[in-house]
Amino acid sequence: MHADPSFPQWTRAKSFDGFGVAGPVIETDFDWRDLTIKVLVNDRERQSYPAADMILSPAQIVSCPSKDMTLHAGDLIACGTSVGARPVKAGMTVDVLIEGIGRVGVTMAAPQT
């Protein structure tokens, strides 16, 4: 875990309770290099990028955390983002689309105090 000093930060940043919405399906029969991921914020396209442009392959991404923690079937690994990521605020809707797989959306909520 300490070999890459940024690893703990990224693990925490995408692992808080309520984060990591997944769905509407988990697809396993596809070639990841053929996918395009799109992110809409309030129905405006903010990101659109081919998965083939990923810096690390899915196999490499799984290899990194598996050196520091036990992974089990069904575990999800957040693997980053592309150009265009900016902060979102309470009330904004965020939709992620992967053509041929599906779409999942959330409306951001204000932190509970």
Measured distance CA(84)–CA(22) in Å, rounded: 21
**What is the reported pTM?**
0.74
Residue 37 maps to a domain: yes
Residue 113 maps to a domain: no
Measured distance CA(8)–CA(50) in Å, rounded: 27
Domain count, the chain: 1
Domain that holds residue 34: 7-107
Q: What is the pLDDT of residues 12-54, one digit of tens each?
A: 555 666 667 777 778 889 999 999 999 999 999 999 999 999 8
Residue 2 maps to a domain: no
Strand partners, 105: 95
Write the CATH number for 75. Answer: 3.90.850.10
pLDDT above 80 for 61? yes
Residue 13 maps to a domain: yes
| pLDDT at residue 13 in the model | 57
